[in-house]
């Protein structure tokens, strides 16, 4: 059937709701999705820009099927990565469902017990839930799962690109495979994403590893929106020896300059400004509101990040939906599709880690059909002086910002494909304990079948799984009954019974910050201010009154002093294509019209330094008789692998992101790399050399021999590293 007839495939109450909403027509992706879901049996991935109507594209046909064939169970489950996103979608779906009289439920940590009880007693309609809450249901409501999910027909995964390739994604995938044994029919999966790129085959494999069902891709058209884009650069003087840890007057002046530019660019409108560090969110929000006070205008700059209280985050979201001019400085918490109304422009403080993030953030602006998308990047670079080394002179943050921009602006646009893990033994360990908690105990073969042979961990061999069970038995986490069933030992029961178990990733230990009766947010235990110290949080200034170590509480009061809070460092994995683009930009003479004057000057300075030191001719630059740089220009994983190889060869490398500093002659390094390549490199042997082996939340429960094999599979890219070393050797022979 053609897409022109898609509207007539919808149930009558759903059609009437669209008339109520005065929709003039369906969008192309909605028409395509209606036909695919109503008339096909394939799983579906809908890829389109933010605000393109992906949620409606998925749910219009799903709700039509629920209306036409109701059941006494949940029939559609929406999985969202954020509670705020679930709350936002809950309101939208309730509105869509009102004429069809389809119940909509939500389940996460902030939902009251009464609502949960009603769902358990009378399961129906649509359920909105997080991966962690599915885990909690598996453990705490296992006897009710057959009734709750018997008629489940659809699972909608929102922001699927934010889950696939991550610990949470592996966790969710395992839970969905486990959920299938409670359903009468195999449910279909609909994934929603704003950034898919060329990675559809990876997503299809993630959804259907057995290829027992087709996966259909529905892509939104390029709307040809006008894009207004600018990169602003600033130079910051580096602290000199003997300086205190406080910012110098010159550095403070640079921050004031950036704040002034932001104020000029964003004040008086509704915008978002993203930052990689929460401390930057707090610092710039304070500076911008100080500027508001100086000009006798209302404070209009808000904050939003994961360390703030739920009440403050919700206040910010509500204010952004209002009519007053508001700009929110935020971390990645507002990168995903939470509805905050129409945003005029987006800012970004320092370059993000991926094109994926840049696309998501840019997509928050220009949501109306006649509006342009607007984005400004603010990049800080160290000022060059006599102490600056060659890598400093290349201005890597600016190069990264430009590389991401070029890939963002390319046609067709490139985004990073997901990096799928092979084993992820930490999450597998959590799932073993979860299955035993759910069932009360079962045979090892049954656990292996549910999690590995027919589950999310298909690359884990029976031998490795047996070794994992032995690890857990040795640590008295599980035990085996005389008849052969595995059960949780008391230590395992304590782990699975704690609320933190529902999450497969490690959460930092944090102290709650309160002022009077108000909860402000949280600060990490490793970076707490001391009594009488000043700090910024929630865009306001505070002073520490007392610290309760036992209750993990910081009591604060308002104060005129300020210091940016210290949060744990964040970071992401950079794809090799981004680093290659950084090199290409450095080696070219291409003029980039979206750079401001300072950014242009810094780029030209970096290019001049590259020519003067011979980077344009060779990837090896001698710094002294027994010191040189090898410019790798590769991604994080390959760079780390080469670093560990060099360390294992006794070369004492120093990682400079795009280069390795080696304290030896180039000839010595080349000879050692040649011998290594001839030795039939073994990733297991290399993984043994890595000092920090426990990275995952449950790695402490796993024998080191298994962790080593997991590292070799999931954290190293020996093939990519060897290819790069061979290229180095080949170039040296020319």
In CATH, what number is assigned to the domain containing residue 378?
3.40.50.300
Instruction: Check whether residue 334 and residue 352 sit in a common domain.
Output: yes
Give, as one character, the DSSP assignment of residue 427: H
d(CA 623, CA 628) in angstroms, rounded, equals 5
Distance CA 330, CA 294 (A): 23
**Residue 565 domain-assigned (yes or no):** no
**∠ CA 106-88-197 to the nearest 5 degrees?**
105
What does each C-alpha distance from 98 to 57, 102, 125, 680 come to in angstroms?
Answer: 17, 7, 12, 65
Q: How many domains does the chain have?
A: 5
Whether residues 119 and 206 share a domain: the answer is yes
Classify residue 272 by burial, with Cβ atoms within 10 Å: 0-12, 13-18, 19+.
Answer: buried
Low-confidence spans in the chain with pLDDT less than 50: 1-2, 244-245
Q: Using the 3D structure, point to which of 455, 483, 502 is the last residue of a domain.
A: 502
Q: Give the pLDDT score at 567.
A: 64
Distance in angstroms (rounded) separating the CA atoms of residues 107 and 597? 51
pLDDT of residue 81: 84
Enter the pTM of the model.
0.90
Inter-axis angle of helices 666-678 and 718-732, to 10 degrees?
130
- Nearest-CA neighbor of 558 among 542, 544, 547, 546? 542
pLDDT value of residue 235: 93
Domain final residue pick, 387, 413, 445: 387
* Same domain flag for 41 and 187: yes
- Which residues lie across from 216 on neighbouring strands? 44
Structural domain includes residue 594: no
61 with 36, same domain: the answer is yes
Within 13 Å, how many C-alpha atoms sit on residue 282's CB side?
24
Per DSSP, 143 falls in state G
Q: Could you tell me if 26 and 172 lie in one domain?
A: yes
3-state secondary structure of 264: helix
Strands 540-548 vs 534-537: parallel, antiparallel or unpaired: antiparallel
Boundaries of domain holding 672? 618-732
704-714 and 425-439 helices, crossing angle to 10°: 120
- What is the model's pLDDT at position 423? 87
Per the domain annotation, does 55 fall within a domain?
A: yes
The pLDDT score that the predictor gives to residue 326 is 95
Alpha-carbon distance of 328 to 338, in angstroms, equals 13
Same domain? 236 vs 375:
yes
Q: Which two tokens stand for residue 403?
A: 């590389």
Q: Is residue 583 part of a domain?
A: no
Q: Are residues 65 and 133 in the same domain?
A: yes
């Amino acid at each position: 059937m053609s897409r022109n007839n898609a509207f007539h495939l919808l149930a009558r109450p759903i059609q009437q709701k669209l008339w109520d909403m005065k929709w003039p027509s369906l969008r192309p992706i909605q028409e395509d999705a209606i036909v695919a879901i109503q008339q096909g049996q394939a799983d579906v991935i809908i890829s389109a820009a933010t605000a393109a109507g992906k949620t409606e594209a998925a749910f219009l046909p799903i709700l039509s099927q629920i209306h036409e064939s109701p059941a006494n169970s949940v029939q559609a489950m929406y999985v969202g990565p954020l509670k705020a996103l679930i709350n936002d979608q809950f309101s939208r779906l309730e509105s869509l469902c009102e004429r069809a009289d389809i119940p909509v439920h939500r389940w996460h940590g902030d939902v009251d017990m009464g609502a949960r009880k009603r769902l358990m007693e009378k399961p129906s309609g649509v359920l909105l839930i997080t991966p962690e809450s599915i885990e909690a249901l598996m453990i705490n409501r296992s006897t009710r799962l057959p009734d709750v999910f018997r008629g489940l027909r659809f699972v909608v995964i929102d922001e699927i690109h934010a889950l696939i390739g991550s610990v949470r994604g592996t966790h969710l995938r395992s839970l969905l495979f486990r959920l299938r044994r409670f359903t009468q029919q195999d449910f279909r999966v609909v994934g929603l994403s704003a950034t898919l790129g060329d990675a559809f085959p990876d997503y299809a494999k993630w959804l259907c590893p057995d290829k027992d069902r087709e996966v259909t891709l529905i892509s939104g058209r390029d709307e040809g929106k006008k894009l207004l884009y600018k990169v602003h650069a600033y130079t910051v003087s580096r602290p000199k020896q003997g300086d205190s840890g406080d910012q110098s007057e010159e550095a403070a002046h640079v921050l004031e300059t950036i704040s002034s530019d932001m104020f000029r660019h964003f004040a008086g409108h509704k915008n978002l400004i993203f930052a990689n560090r929460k401390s930057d969110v707090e610092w710039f929000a304070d500076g911008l509101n100080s500027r508001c006070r100086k000009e006798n205008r209302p404070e209009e700059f808000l904050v939003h990040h994961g360390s703030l209280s739920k009440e403050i985050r919700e206040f910010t979201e509500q204010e952004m939906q209002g009519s007053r001019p508001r700009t929110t400085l935020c971390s990645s918490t507002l990168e995903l599709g939470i509805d905050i109304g129409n945003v005029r422009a987006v800012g970004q403080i320092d370059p993000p880690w991926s094109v994926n993030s840049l696309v998501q953030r840019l997509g928050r602006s220009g949501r109306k059909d006649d509006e342009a998308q607007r984005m400004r990047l603010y990049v800080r670079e160290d000022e060059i002086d006599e102490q600056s080394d060659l890598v400093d002179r290349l201005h890597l943050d600016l190069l990264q910002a430009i590389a991401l921009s070029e890939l963002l602006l390319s046609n067709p646009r490139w985004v990073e494909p997901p990096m799928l893990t092979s084993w992820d033994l930490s999450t597998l360990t959590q799932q073993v304990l979860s299955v035993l908690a759910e069932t009360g105990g079962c045979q090892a073969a049954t656990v292996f079948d549910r999690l590995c042979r027919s589950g999310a961990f298909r690359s884990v061999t029976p031998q490795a799984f047996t070794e994992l069970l032995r690890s857990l038995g040795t640590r008295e986490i599980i035990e085996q009954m005389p008849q052969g069933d595995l059960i949780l030992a008391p230590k395992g029961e304590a782990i699975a019974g704690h609320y933190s178990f529902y999450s497969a990733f490690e959460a930092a230990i944090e102290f709650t910050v309160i002022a009077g009766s108000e909860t402000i947010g949280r600060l990490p235990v490793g970076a707490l201010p001391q009594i009488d110290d000043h700090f910024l949080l929630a865009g306001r200034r505070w002073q520490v009154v007392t610290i309760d170590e036992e209750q993990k509480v910081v009591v604060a009061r308002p104060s005129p002093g300020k210091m940016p809070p210290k949060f744990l460092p964040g970071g992401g994995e950079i794809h090799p294509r981004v680093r290659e683009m950084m090199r290409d930009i450095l080696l070219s003479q291409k003029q980039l019209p979206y750079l401001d004057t300072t950014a242009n000057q810094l780029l030209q300075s970096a290019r001049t330094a590259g020519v003067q030191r011979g980077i344009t001719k060779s990837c090896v630059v001698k710094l002294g008789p027994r010191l040189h740089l090898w410019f790798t220009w590769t991604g994080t994983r390959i760079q780390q692998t080469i670093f560990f190889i060099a360390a294992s060869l006794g070369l004492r490398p120093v990682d400079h992101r795009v280069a390795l500093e080696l304290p030896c002659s180039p000839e010595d390094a080349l000879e050692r790399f040649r011998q290594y390549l001839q030795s039939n490199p073994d990733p297991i042997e290399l993984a043994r050399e890595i000092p920090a082996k426990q990275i995952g939340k449950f790695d402490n429960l796993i024998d080191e021999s298994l962790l080593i094999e997991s590292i070799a599979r999931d954290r190293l890219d020996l093939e990519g590293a060897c290819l790069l070393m061979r290229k180095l050797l080949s170039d040296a022979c020319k």
